[in-house]
């Protein structure tokens, strides 16, 4: 019963969606393009010809590669800590009724809804009060703090979408609670954990504001770029940003593959829709 008006409307919505995606990619295009710019002076914002030299030597800018390594290590550690803490919090929230459950829910949610500048400032104030030296550790602490909420909520969603019968079955077959969690629950929510980990990694590696407050002399990738932005960003920043994009793309495809497999397994186990 599709009318012509409907079709026109669909086309318009489709066009709008494509335009919106294009809008999202305009600066990305600039970033990738200028990683190939043969810039003569110290700036990299007017197109001066094509070159591969920055790609051949992406680590030429010394501080930059160090900053990238710092960022990657913080993001990796943050992801591990965050999903470890977060998985258990999510399990407790979904599978148990306990005193303070509401408060836990709220506390998990609040950092997500706090402006970064407040998070950063509050934490700095706290570290200053405690005379705690800022550096790698404080950045890591901060990143775990504000990624934890995302992790808990993502895993919680997966847990809630899960069929309780499987766990019940395991217990009926004599498995104790810990064994059930280890052998049944965790494997089943693995895709949720992977998604949460990706999210935590992405948020950590992108963070500027909170890091800027709490990094002390530690330099992360965004901090380096911010410092360099005042001077003229070296093209290697574009190269690294593009590489990061490539890495993200790979991780996302891995994630999609895992989700698909999980969805198939879920489908096999029962009529439970997987969450994206």
**Using rule CB under 8 A, residue 59 touches other proteins:** no
The pair of three-digit structure tokens given for residue 257, joined into one six-digit string:
């593959």
Q: What is the dihedral of CA 199, 205, 207, 210, to 10 degrees?
A: 100
**Using rule CB under 8 A, residue 117 touches other proteins:** yes
List 25, 69, 169, 254, residue binding other proteins (CB under 8 A): 25
**Using rule CB under 8 A, residue 128 touches other proteins:** yes
List 55, 66, 175, 190, residue binding other proteins (CB under 8 A): 66
As measured in angstroms, the least distance from the Cβ of 52 to other proteins is 20
Q: Give the range of 51-59, 72-80, 127-135, 183-191 binding other proteins by CB under 8 A.
A: 127-135
Q: Helix or strand or coil: residue 50? A: strand
**Using rule CB under 8 A, residue 123 touches other proteins:** yes
**Residue 217 contacts residue 201 (beta carbons within 8 Å):** no
> What is the C-alpha to C-alpha distance for residues 160 and 156, in angstroms, rounded to an integer?
6
Nearest to other proteins of 52, 88 (CB atom) = 88
What is the b/e burial string over 64-78, where b = at least 16 CB atoms within 10 angstroms of the residue's CB? Answer: bbbbbebbbebbebb
**Using rule CB under 8 A, residue 36 touches other proteins:** no
Q: What is the dihedral of CA 244, 78, 76, 178, to 10 degrees?
A: -130
Nearest to other proteins of 79, 242 (CB atom) = 242
> What is the C-alpha to C-alpha distance for residues 268 and 263, in angstroms, rounded to an integer?
8
**Using rule CB under 8 A, residue 80 touches other proteins:** no
> What is the C-alpha to C-alpha distance for residues 36 and 51, in angstroms, rounded to an integer?
5
Nearest to other proteins of 36, 221 (CB atom) = 221
Residues 170-229 that bind other proteins (CB under 8 A): 171, 177, 202, 205-206, 208-209, 212-213, 215-217, 219, 221-229
Q: Give the range of 51-59, 72-80, 121-129, 182-190 binding other proteins by CB under 8 A.
A: 121-129
């Amino acid at each position: 019963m599709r009318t012509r008006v409907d079709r026109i409307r669909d086309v318009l919505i489709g066009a709008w969606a494509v335009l919106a995606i294009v809008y999202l990619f305009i600066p990305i295009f600039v970033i990738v393009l200028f990683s190939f710019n043969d810039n003569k002076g110290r700036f990299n914002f007017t197109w001066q010809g094509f070159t591969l030299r920055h790609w051949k030597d992406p680590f030429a800018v010394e501080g930059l590669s160090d900053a990238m390594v710092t960022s990657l290590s913080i993001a990796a550690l943050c992801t591990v800590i965050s999903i470890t803490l977060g998985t258990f919090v999510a399990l407790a929230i979904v599978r148990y009724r306990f005193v303070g459950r509401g408060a836990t829910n709220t506390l998990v949610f609040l950092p997500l809804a706090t402006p970064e500048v407040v998070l950063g400032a509050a934490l700095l104030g706290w570290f200053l009060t405690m005379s705690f030296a800022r550096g790698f550790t404080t950045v890591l602490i901060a990143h775990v703090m504000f990624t934890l909420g995302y992790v808990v909520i993502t895993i919680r969603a997966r847990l809630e979408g899960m069929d309780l019968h499987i766990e019940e079955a395991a217990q009926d077959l004599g498995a104790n609670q810990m064994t059930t969690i280890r052998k049944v629950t965790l494997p089943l929510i693995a895709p949720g954990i992977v998604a949460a980990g990706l999210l935590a990694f992405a948020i950590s590696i992108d963070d500027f504001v909170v890091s800027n407050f709490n990094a002390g002399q530690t330099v992360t990738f965004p901090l380096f770029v911010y410092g360099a932005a005042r001077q003229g960003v070296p093209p290697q920043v574009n190269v690294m940003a593009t590489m990061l994009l490539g890495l993200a793309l790979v991780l996302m495809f891995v994630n999609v593959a895992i989700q698909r497999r999980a969805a198939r397994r879920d489908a096999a186990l029962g009529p439970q829709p997987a969450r994206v």
